[in-house]
């Protein structure tokens, strides 16, 4: 998926870095960033679902 579509990709890449200290403050910050971005993506998907359904029923 292109980076312009998935702004969370750089965060995920950093989180998956080999040898990352899972207890570090940086890892916690990255996880919080990922969580916020995931929440926004989920909210947008949830909002788009009724629009998609309404459009598909009308057609």
**Average of pLDDT values for 33-42?**
91
Is 1 a residue whose pLDDT tops 50? no
Place of tokens 């570090």: 24
Percent of the chain with pLDDT over 90: 69
The answer to whether 7 touches 23, Cβ cutoff 8 Å, is no
- Does 11 or 7 have the greater pLDDT score? 11
pTM score over 0.75: no
pLDDT band at 36 (very low <50, low <70, confident <90, very high): very high
| Helix/strand/coil (H/E/C) assignment for every residue in the chain | CCCCCCCCHHHHHHHCCCCCCCCCHHHHHHHHHHHHHHHHHHHHHHHHHHHHHHHHHHC
Task: Identify which of 56, 13, 11 has the alpha carbon closest to the alpha carbon of residue 36.
Answer: 11
Give me the pLDDT at residue 6, please. Answer: 66
């Amino acid at each position: 998926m292109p980076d312009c579509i998935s702004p969370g990709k750089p965060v995920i890449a950093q989180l998956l870095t080999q040898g990352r200290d899972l207890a570090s403050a940086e890892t916690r910050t990255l996880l919080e960033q990922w969580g916020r971005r995931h929440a926004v993506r989920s909210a947008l998907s949830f909002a788009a679902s009724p629009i998609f359904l309404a459009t598909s029923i009308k057609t």
